[in-house]
A and B are shown apart, each in its own frame.
Chain A
Amino acid sequence: MDQELILELPNDVRSIEHAVEYVMRHCSTCCDRARRFNLNFRVGLTEALSNAMLYGNASDPQKRVRVEVTVRMEEVAVRVTDEGVGFDPALVPDPTLPANLSKSGGRGIFLMKALMDEVRFNDQGNSVTLVLRLQGEAEA
């Protein structure tokens, strides 16, 4: 049976760590032993929230971020939506290229894509869905 959780967060990066831990606890019944869940989902969600607050909502304290989590037997999915105008994720350069390696920013979307099984943006670019599959997870 699906378990769903919906959160509305203030646009404050200081809320991210607590929000991520809350979501992790919500999901823990199905996947707390999986290393990929503990690292990949935690960091992927942190990146999505950070992008939504800093870039999507442009650090505007009046705006909010919506988080929708769905936990199924075989996967955990989270949709993070901001109130910004959106962006084109295809325009974000590869941070691992030698020319970009010493830049301080630009690794958030790369990490999401590297750590999650699916990363889907809506057409507007203000909502991202992250999916991590759990089937076959070893108890690493």
Chain B
Amino acid sequence: MAFRVSKSDDVTVIDVEGQLIVGNRQELKQKVLDELENGAHRFVVNFSETGYIDSSGLGVLVSLSKKIREQEGELRLASLNEDLRTLFELTKLDTLFTIADSREEALEGL
């Protein structure tokens, strides 16, 4: 489980390598908050290597989205597999986030 942070122009991309669950959600939160503190405003969280997310993982995404919006920034999600999409749809969080099919699509126009 790891979170790889990179830049694409001035967008911060975080690749989630593994699951986003209660045991590691604080690590993701801290990485994003550190980037926000350093002036980043636009974020893509890429889930192409993620099998599942639990409610704590969903919760941290909601919380980060709120904080980023407060800084007039934007958070987009990318590359959710079928299982992840199911979880977002069940919880209706698909209505709260911009979800792109791929990292490249998420970066377009951000």
The answer for the CA separation of A42 and B83 in the assembled complex, in Å, is: 11
**Considering the complex, which residues of chain A in the window 1-35 have a beta carbon less than 8 Å from any beta carbon of chain B?**
13-17, 35
Q: Are A16 and B21 touching (Cβ within 8 A)?
A: yes
CB closest chain-A residue, reference B92:
A96
Q: Given the complex, which residues of A lie within 8 Å of B56, measured CB to CB?
A: 50, 108
> For the complex, is B73 an interface residue (Cβ under 8 Å from A)?
no
Q: Interface size for chain B: under 10, 10 to 19, 20 to 34, or 35 or more residues?
A: 20 to 34
> For the complex, is A101 an interface residue (Cβ under 8 Å from B)?
yes
> For the complex, is A90 an interface residue (Cβ under 8 Å from B)?
no
Give, as a whole number of angstroms, the nearest-CB distance from A75 to chain B.
21
Q: Are B92 and A39 touching (Cβ within 8 A)?
A: no
Q: Which of B4-12, B37-45, B58-66, B100-108 contacts A (4 or more CB under 8 A)?
A: B58-66
1/0 contact string of B13-55 vs chain A (CB within 8 Å): 0000001011100000000000000000000000000001011
Q: Given the complex, which residues of B lie within 8 Å of A54, measured CB to CB?
A: 22
Task: Knowing A96-B91, A102-B66 are in contact, say whether A107-B59 is a contact too (CB < 8 A).
Answer: yes
Give, as a whole number of angstroms, the nearest-CB distance from B79 to chain A.
17
The answer for the CA separation of A111 and B92 in the assembled complex, in Å, is: 11
Q: Given the complex, which residues of B lie within 8 Å of A17, measured CB to CB?
A: 1, 19, 21, 23
> For the complex, is B93 an interface residue (Cβ under 8 Å from A)?
yes
Candidate in A42, A95, A104 with the most chain B CB atoms within 10 angstroms: A104
Chain B residues within CB distance 8 Å of chain A: 1, 19, 21-23, 52, 54-56, 58-60, 62-63, 66, 83, 86-87, 90-93, 95-96
Inter-chain pairs besides A13-B22, A50-B21, A104-B62, 5 sampled, C-beta below 8 Å: A50-B56, A96-B92, A111-B87, A111-B90, A114-B90
Q: 7 closest pairs, A vs B, by CB?
A: A107-B55, A104-B63, A104-B59, A108-B55, A50-B22, A96-B92, A39-B83
